[in-house]
Structure 1
Amino acid sequence: MTAEGQPELTDEMLWARASRGDKKAFEALYRRHWPALLDDAYRRLKVRQEAEEVVQDIFVSLYNRRGALEIRDSVAGYLHRSVQLAVYNKVRSYITQRNYQRLEALRLTGFTEDALSIAEYRELNDALQHTILRLPEKCRQVFLLSREQGLGYRQIALELNISPNTVERHINKALKVLRREFGAMDAAPLLAVAMASGLTAGLMA
C-alpha cells in the first residue's frame, strides 16, 4: 500500500506505464531497484564506482529503449540479468585490454611473434599467475594490490592496516620467489610481462 492507502503498482504495471512515456513510473522503477542492482554489481566487481556505472548504464539503456523494448518475464529478473551481462562484458573488456597492454610491452622490448609467439607468451603469463597464486596469503594480497591496482606502498599499508616496511618485505619476498621460479628463463620476456604489470623496478633491482 502507498502512503495514500492506494495499492502499490507492480513492476510490470510501472513498466507498462513507463513504456508509454510515463517518466514518474520509470523513476519509481529506478528507485525501487537501484539499491539491489547496485549490491549485485558491487558484489561481482568489488569496485563501487564501476558498479554504479554499470547500473546507471543499464537504466539509461532501458529508458532509451522504453518504447520498443518488450520485457516478457519479470522486470526484476530482466534487470538482474542485465547486470550479470554488463559485468561479464566489463570484465572481458578489462582482460582483453590487459592482454593487449602486455603484448605491446613485449613488442616495445624488441620481441615480436617471431621471437616470442603469443602461445609462448600466454604460457609464460600462465606460469607467472600460477606462481603468484602459490604465494602466502598476505604476501599475495600485498603483491596483487601493487600489481593489479597499481597502489603504492603507503596506500597498501593503509588498505591493510600494516606498516609500509611490512608492505616492502612482502613485495620483496614475492619478487624473490619470481626470480627463483623464472631464473632459468630468458630474463627479457619475464621483464616484459612484469613491466606490463607494474613490476619492472622490483624485478630489475
Structure 2
Amino acid sequence: MDSNGFHNKDEQELWRSFVSGNDQSLETLYRRYFDELYNYGNKWLNNPSLTQDSIQDLFVKLMRNRSNLTIPDSVKYYLLRSFRSIVLDKLKVNDRMKLMDEPKEHMFQVELCPEEQMIGQEEDKRLQKQLTEAIQQLTPRQREAVFLKYQEGLSYPEIAEMLALSQKATYKLVARAIQTLRTITDSATLIIAFFLYT
C-alpha cells in the first residue's frame, strides 16, 4: 500500500470513529483540514470571516447528520466537495453571485500569497507580474480545476465530479489551462510552483 493508501486508511478510521460517536475524531479532522478548507473557500469568498463561518457550518452539518454518514473513499475529497457546496450557497445568499448559465464560473480567484510576493525583490517582481498576468488569462473554472489538481492533489475523476463535468472535459479543461499558462510563461515548472505556493 502506498503512502496515500495509508493516509486514506488513517482518515477513514478517524471518520469511522466520529460516525460511531467520538467527537474528538471530528475535531482531529477539523484541525488537519482547516487550513486547506480555508485556503480553498477564501478563493471563492475573499472574506476571512465568512470563510471561517463556512468551515464551522460544514462541521456543524457533519455533527447533525452523523447517523446518516457513510465512510468515504477519500475523506479529504468528501470534505472539499461538501465545503464547496456550502460556499456556493453562501455566495448565492449574499448576492455575490448572479445565477446565470454556469454560476460556478464566476468567482474563483488565485493570487500570490504574501510570502511569495516578498521573495527576491527585482527579479521576482518581474516573475510575479508574469505569473499574475498568466493566471488572469484563465477562466475561473480553469483556475479552480488547476488548483484542485496541483494544490489539493485531487484526481481527475474527483475534480470531474466536483465540477459536474465528464472526465474527458476535465482533462481538456486542465490541459487547456496549462497550455495557456505555458504559452504565456514558457515554463510548466513555474506554473506548478505557482499553484503549490498560493
Q: TM-score with structure 2 length normalisation?
A: 0.42
Higher gyration radius (CA) = 1
Q: TM-score with structure 1 length normalisation?
A: 0.41
